[in-house]
Amino acid sequence: MQPVTERIKQAVRSRKRIVLITFHLKEKGERDLEGAIHELLTFYGKDDLVGPVHAAIRELVQNAAKANLKRIVFHDLKLDPTDPVQYEEGMQYFRDSLVESRIAEYQSRLKAENIYTRIVIQPMEDVLVFSVENRFPLYPSEEARIREKFKTSAAIDNLYDYYMEFSDHIEGAGMGIAMIEILLRQVGLDSRSFTIHYDPATAHTVGRFLIPLKDGIKTNRQTFEELLNEKAVGPQELRTSIKEGALDLPLTSQHLN
């Protein structure tokens, strides 16, 4: 079998999708990921974005890995994550007990239960799409918090200001979302190209951002805003329709296979 680096180079040259599966991203996985990003962006003449894109994907991978671990924690503690009180109890245990250095201890459990994180890098005709997926839907508390982080980070230009304003009640995932959105904005990309959503086609939660290869590309968040106006419905009703598959956004997984 060819080395991973050579297979990545061939996939980039052939404009094929690159898929990396990880249970816990270690040194070799980090090198493969960075190599894939470097090869792809250099091929499309966007090598100045290698650093920011790698930082953004790495943050999404870490968040996805922690989300997978939460499922194990809630299961082991026999807590109902849809109950706000029990959710907070589980999160308190998670914050107190599962420090970064202990995450690797769960790798065999994650493998045994096939609880993975999937990284998909896919060139399309007009955009480069970067996705990080895990196998579970968002808990209600997580979805509400993520929407709030998108809202608060949209009005702030740098991470220092964000941290100073929200550090008293910030969680790691919230800072990660702000970091990605602000980082993409600072390198000249539309922050609306970054989304986190549940994909009914795969039953995965997907963190995704895209890099346009030409002008005029419409992001899912732009389409969502247009649908809100067109259909005269509330945001939650529209989200439900998308989750149930009644409405389709242009850059969902069924278009990325």
Share of the chain above pLDDT 90, in %: 20
Rounded Cα distance, 109 and 76, in Å: 12
- Average pLDDT for residues 15-33, to the nearest whole number? 86
- Look up residue 61 and give its amino acid: V
Share of the chain above pLDDT 70, in %: 77
Tell me which of 154 and 54 has the higher pLDDT: 54
| Domain range summary for the chain, segments of one domain joined by + | 4-215
Residue 170: pLDDT above 70? no
| Chain segment 184-207, per-residue pLDDT in tens | 888 888 777 888 888 877 888 899
Residue 164: pLDDT above 60? yes
- Average pLDDT for residues 40-64, to the nearest whole number? 91
